[in-house]
Chain A
């Protein structure tokens, strides 16, 4: 599975467009991380716990998107975009979406 935010992959031809695929996840931080983060708010700097959380969440969104693409017979997802929205205090939705296509060598 090729996943890329390019619209075309040089040296490959798009044989079929299979529509939009997406994957998303809503995550909240647990209280321990929140307490640590609020202490960290005094001195500033990186909130490593949150960085990891966002990374995990994004990976999961991408995995779900790939699963959807596989289920419709795609071998690549092009033009991938990410979106993040905080929906409530301490919770965020992470969305990954792109165009599922079937690529072939010309």
Chain B
């Protein structure tokens, strides 16, 4: 009887994780796509130096960070997959979402402070322990530039 009860709880958690997790992931992707279009005018580069010898008026550090958690279903599937090895697609989407979200927040930070260009963008990923499901933190940081206004006669 106890075993049956435990099985029922496990199945319920799995189902909740699968259904709610899917809805949350799809909503997150929809929001990411919408905001990516919205922030398309903020340029982010990995270059260490700004292009075209831009003389910045002002430079400052900008950051974007997000902590996301896997759901119960993903954790279970990943546990199974671990036995055979191979791609853990469930976690790939989790990390992709986190990274795109962090980049968006980086752009948001830059735009709020009046910049349209970020150079030297770096990513850092840390897994946070605790809880049943792994959580990861993704940090994106870079230097925002506000170029000098040049009054070029055209």
Q: Which of B34-90 contact A (CB under 8 A)?
A: 48-50, 53-56, 59-61, 63, 65-72, 74-75
The prevalent SS among residues of A at the interface is mixed
Q: Is the CB of A45 within 8 A of B68?
A: yes
Contact of A44 among B48, B54, B68 (CB under 8 A): B68
**With A43-B71, A44-B21, A82-B139 in contact, is A4–B61 under 8 Å at CB?**
yes
- B68 cross-chain contacts in A, Cβ below 8 A: 44-47
- Contact mask for chain A residues 1-34; partner B; CB cutoff 8 A; 1 contact, 0 none: 0111111111100000000000000000100001
CA of A80 to CA of B61, assembled, Å: 9
- A89 cross-chain contacts in B, Cβ below 8 A: 129-130
Q: Which of A30-54 contact B (CB under 8 A)?
A: 34, 37-38, 40-47, 50-51, 54
CA of A75 to CA of B128, assembled, Å: 35
Q: Which of B8-40 contact A (CB under 8 A)?
A: 13, 16-17, 20-21, 24-25, 28
**With A86-B128, A92-B126 in contact, is A43–B60 under 8 Å at CB?**
no
- B137 cross-chain contacts in A, Cβ below 8 A: 50-51, 54, 84
- A51 cross-chain contacts in B, Cβ below 8 A: 65-67, 137
> Smallest CB–CB gap between A106 and chain B, Å?
11
Number of A-B contacts (CB under 8 A): 138
Q: Is the CB of A3 within 8 A of B69?
A: no
Q: Is the CB of A46 within 8 A of B61?
A: no
Q: Is the CB of A37 within 8 A of B130?
A: yes
- B16 cross-chain contacts in A, Cβ below 8 A: 42-43
Residue of A nearest to B50 (CB): A10
CA of A4 to CA of B94, assembled, Å: 29
Interface size of A as a range: 35 or more
Q: Is the CB of B69 within 8 A of A44?
A: yes
Q: Is the CB of A45 within 8 A of B69?
A: yes
CA of A80 to CA of B101, assembled, Å: 22
CA of A25 to CA of B71, assembled, Å: 29
* Residue from A3, A42, A62, A82 with most neighbouring chain B CB atoms (10 Å): A42
User: Could you list 18 A-B pairs, sorted by A, with CB under 8 Å?
Assistant: A2-B59, A2-B60, A3-B60, A4-B143, A5-B122, A5-B143, A10-B56, A29-B130, A37-B135, A38-B130, A41-B70, A43-B16, A43-B72, A44-B133, A46-B68, A47-B68, A47-B69, A84-B137
- In order of increasing CB-CB distance, the 6 nearest A-B pairs are A44-B71, A43-B20, A50-B67, A41-B133, A45-B24, A11-B55
